[in-house]
Amino acid sequence: MSIDEITAGALPRPAGHYSHATRAGGLVFVAGLLPVASDGRALGAEPFEVQVAQVLANLDEVLAAAGTSRAALVQVRVYITDVARWGDFNRLYAAWIGDRRPARCVVPVPVLHHGVLLEVEAIAAAAGG
């Protein structure tokens, strides 16, 4: 089986020992993405809505780099530091994803890197997979 590491050129390279995504077995596995701007600036001080928009834009970039798109998402995991924001996230996510309803979970966590308010990871079908 072929395993391909994916790096999205529009995003900063991962600081840790991982790639933005890995394509294997007809699927694309997207690593945890934070609301980090293309210049590498973490948006931890920005409002929740701004952070959500950035992390979903980052997800779009990684999916595009892997040759797929949000239309091919099969599962999304969201980690948020305040479960009271679930409704806000759900509304913004629904506007972004449209009528599609991939499997999803939202997990409250006490803290995330750089003081950001959410992190998103995903699995999508690979093009032609």
- Domains within the chain, CATH numbers bracketed: 3-125 (3.30.1330.40)
Q: What pLDDT, in 10s, does the model give residues 55-102?
A: 999 999 999 999 999 999 999 999 999 999 999 999 999 999 999 999
Cα Rg of the chain (Å, integer): 14
Q: What pLDDT, in 10s, does the model give residues 5-53?
A: 999 999 999 989 999 999 999 999 999 999 999 999 999 999 999 999 9
- The answer to whether 8 and 61 are in contact (CB under 8 A) is yes
d(CA 41, CA 53): 15
Sheet with strand 3-6: strands edge to edge: 3-6, 21-24, 27-33, 118-125, 73-80, 103-108
Crossing angle, helix 48-65 and helix 86-97, to 10 degrees?
Answer: 40
Q: Check pLDDT > 90 for residue 129.
A: no
Q: Check pLDDT > 80 for residue 128.
A: no
Chain-wide mean pLDDT for the chain? 96
Closest by CA position to 11, among listed 2, 19, 22, 3: 19
What's the pTM? 0.96
Question: CB neighbours (10 Å) of residue 123?
Answer: 17
